[in-house]
Amino acid sequence: MNPKTDYDRYETPEALVTDPRLSAAQKLTRLEAWEEDLKAALRATDESMTGVNPGLSGALLQRVMACLEQLRSAATPDGAPPA
């Protein structure tokens, strides 16, 4: 499995964030991939190209973005994520 998109084994973005086996950088990478995939699915829905539920995908996207913000705000003063 590609570690950049290995988020599908998590039921929620919050579960990914709390996984002690991942470093902050790994969590950010996976959440960023999840965010991009959700945005792509929503764009496809706007173009009537998929059966994705935009309400559910939109809510999940908000949760992913909140988790990203949480991790980014926990970054050290020099901007590097904590290990």
Whether residue 27 lies inside any domain: the answer is: yes
Residue 10, domain member (yes or no): no
Q: Is 37 helix (H, G, I), strand (E, B) or coil?
A: helix
pLDDT in the model for residue 45? 72
Residues for the chain: how many in total? 83
Domain ranges, residue 38: 18-73
- What is the Cα–Cα distance from 46 to 14, expressed in whole angstroms? 27
Dump pLDDT digits (tens) for 43-66: 887 667 666 676 788 899 999 999
Whether residue 66 lies inside any domain: the answer is yes
In a domain, 1, yes or no: no
The total number of structural domains in the chain stands at 1
According to the model, what pLDDT value does residue 80 have?
Answer: 56
- Residue 11 in domain: no
Does residue 8 lie in a domain region?
A: no
pTM of the model: 0.77
pLDDT < 70: residue spans in the chain: 1-4, 46-47, 49-52, 54, 76-83
